Chain A
Amino acid sequence: MIDFVQNTLDGVTAGASYALLAVGFTLIFGVLRRANLSYGPAIMLGAYTATWVFLQTGAGLIVLLVVAVLATVLAGSYVERLCFAPHRKGAAAAAMVASFAIWMQLEELATLLLPRHLYAFPALYEGGPLIFGPFFLRVESLLILLAAIAVCFVGWKVLYATRFGIAVRAVIDDPRAAELSGIDVGAVSLRVFAVSSAIGGLTGFLIVSSHEQVTPMLGMWSTLKGMLAMMLGGLGSLPGAIAGGLALGLIEAHSQWYLGPQFRDFIAYLLLFALLAARPPWMNTRSAY
C-alpha cells in the first residue's frame, strides 16, 4: 500500500512537467490546429542557452530561468514564422514536416553550442527531500507541481477574464469568425506561440534544474511526452492537457513499479493507442490536423 501511495506521489510530480508540456502543445494546437514538432527542441535550445550562460558567467538560477524562457520564446517565434505562418491555409502535413526540419536545425544548433553529451546544471533546490512518514517527496518535484498549478491558474485567468483571452478563445473556436470580428488572427497566433514557448522555457528550466543535468535528448523527450499527454487528455482542450499530463505521470510511475522500466513507455503508448481506437467522447475526434 505504501508503494502505491509513493508511486502515486511520484506519478503526480512527474505528471506536472508532462502537464506543462501538454499545455504548451495544446495552446499551439488550439490556435493553429497544428502539432508543432519543434516545441521540444525549442525548449532544449532554451535550456542549452541557459547552460551556456551558466558555464560562461556562473549566473544564478533566476537569471538562468529568464535566459531559458527568452531563448525558448525566440526559438519558438522563429519556428512559428518559418513553419506555421506561411501554411495557415491548409497544408497541415507541410507545416508538420517543416517543424520537423527545424527540429533538426535547432538540435544541431544546440550541439554546436555545447558539443559534449552531458552538462551539469545548477540544482533547483540544494536540500534533501521532504520526509513524512514512509513517504518522501523531492522538493524540486513539489516546485514543478506548484509551477504547473500556477501556470494553469494564470492561464485560466488570462483566458477567461481578459480581452486577449477572448481573442485567443475566439481564434481557437473559429478563426474565420474571429477574423470577421476584427481579430488579427496572425498576431494572436504569434503571441500565443510566444506564451506557449515561455511556458516551455519555464518547463525546460524546471526539468533540467531538478535533474541537475542537460542532455540533447531533452528535445525529443519533451516533444514525445508533451504530445502523448496532450492526446491522452483529449486534443485541443487545456483542462484535458493537464489531466492528460497527470494521467501519463501516474501511468508511467505505476507501470514502472509493478511491471518494470522497459514496460513504462510501452504501457503509456498502449493506453494511448487503445484510447484512440476506442474514441471516447472527451476525445473529440473531429478530423483535426
Chain B
Amino acid sequence: MLSVRELVTAYGKIEALRGVSLEVTQGSITCLLGPNGAGKTTLMMTIAGILKPRSGSIRFSENEIAALPAHAIVARGIALVPENRLVFPSMTVLENLHAGAYQRKNGFDDDIERAFTRFPRLKERAAQLAGTLSGGEQQMLAVARALMSRPKLLLMDEPSLGLAPLVVEEIFTIIAELHRDGVTIFLVEQNAHMALKVAHRFYLMEQGRVTFSGDPGSLAEDEVIRRAYLGSSKS
C-alpha cells in the first residue's frame, strides 16, 4: 500500500533521513520504533507532505506522492495524527470535526455520528472548545478529526505521548478497533511494549536509517526495547 524508497529529508545541512526504505502492507498495523531524534517524526511529516524530501520516492497504492502538498496527500487518503495532537483550540469539538472533513463538500453527518459512537466522550463535549479538553480527549479528537477525511492509511505519531496509562489503554483499544474496521495504520510509538502487542510488523530506526525490520516474534522483546531506547550497540 505504502512503499518508501531511499527517502532523504534534510533541515538545511542536517540530514534527518538518510535513505529510509520501508513498506506498509494493506490492512496491517505497522509500527516504527527508535530513540529520540532518530527521524521518526520527520519521516511521518515527509509522508504527510508537511516536509519536502530532498530525494527518494514515496509510492501510495502505485502513484508517487513525494512532491505533493499536504492537502493533496490528504485527498489521496492518507491522514496524519501529528505529534502533540494539534487541535484547533478556539474552535468547538464539532467544528474541529467539520474542519477534518473539509475536503468533502457534504455527507459527513454519518461520519460525525460514527465518530461520536467511537468516541462517546467527544459527543458529550461536542459544543466545548477543543482547547479546554484534557490531553486524552484532545488525542481522541485529533484521531477522530483525521478519520473524518476517510483515510485509507492512518499515520499516528506517538499517540500515547504524555497520557495517563489508563488513557493509553483506551488509545490502543481504539487502534485495534480501527484495524478491525479495515484502516491500515502506521504507528510511531515510544511505548514499545504496547506497540509490539498490536503490531504485525515493526521497523527500528536510528540516526535517520532503518536498522531492523521484522514481525514482533523475530526479535526478543527486551532486545527490541533496548535498541529502541538505547540504539544498537556499536561498541
Contacts and interface: CB of A to CB of B under 8 A. Distances in A.
B174 interface: no
A166 B46 CA distance: 26
B50 A179 contact: yes
Contacts of A174: 86-89
A177 B88 contact: yes
A182 B149 contact: yes
B87 A184 contact: no
Nearest to B87: A177
Interface string B36-80: 000000000000111000000000000000000111001100011
A173 interface: yes
Contacts, number: 72
Most A Cβ at <10 Å: residue of B69, B87, B88, B149: B88
A166 B48 contact: no
A184 to B, nearest CB: 4
A170 interface: yes
Contact of B86 (A163, A166, A180, A184): A180
Given A170-B91, A176-B82, A176-B86, A181 B50 contact: no
Contact of B95 (A166, A182, A184): A166
A82 B86 CA distance: 30
Interface residues of A, number: 18
A180 B91 contact: no
B102 A169 contact: no
Contact of B74 (A173, A180, A185, A186): A180
B50 A180 contact: yes
B105 interface: yes
A167 B149 CA distance: 14
B50 A182 contact: no
Interface in B164-207: none
- On chain B, which size bracket covers the interface? 20 to 34
B159 interface: no
A92 interface: no
Interface string B77-112: 001101000111111000100111011010000000
Contact of B99 (A176, A183, A185, A186): A183
A178 interface: yes
Nearest to B89: A173
Contacts of A185: 71
Interface string B107-136: 000000000000000000000000000000
B146 interface: yes
B209 interface: no
A169 B69 CA distance: 20
A1 B44 CA distance: 67
B18 interface: no
Contacts of A177: 82, 86-88, 99
A80 B214 CA distance: 49
Most B Cβ at <10 Å: residue of A177, A182, A183, A186: A182
A181 B145 contact: yes
A179 B100 CA distance: 10
Contacts of A169: 88, 90-91, 95
Contacts of B50: 176, 179-180
B69 A163 contact: no
Contacts of A166: 91, 95, 98-99, 102
Contact of A180 (B75, B79, B90, B105): B79
Given A166-B99, A170-B99, A180 B87 contact: no
A170 B99 CA distance: 7
Most B Cβ at <10 Å: residue of A167, A176, A180, A184: A180
Contacts of A182: 70-71, 74-75, 100, 102-103, 149
Contacts of A178: 88, 99
A178 B69 CA distance: 12
Nearest to B103: A182
Given A163-B102, A174-B88, 7 more contacts: A163-B105, A173-B89, A174-B89, A180-B70, A180-B79, A180-B146, A182-B75
Q: Nearest 9 pairs between A and B by C-beta?
A: A182-B74, A177-B86, A173-B88, A179-B70, A184-B71, A182-B103, A170-B99, A181-B99, A182-B71
10 contacts: A163-B102, A169-B90, A169-B91, A170-B88, A174-B89, A176-B50, A180-B82, A181-B100, A181-B149, A184-B69
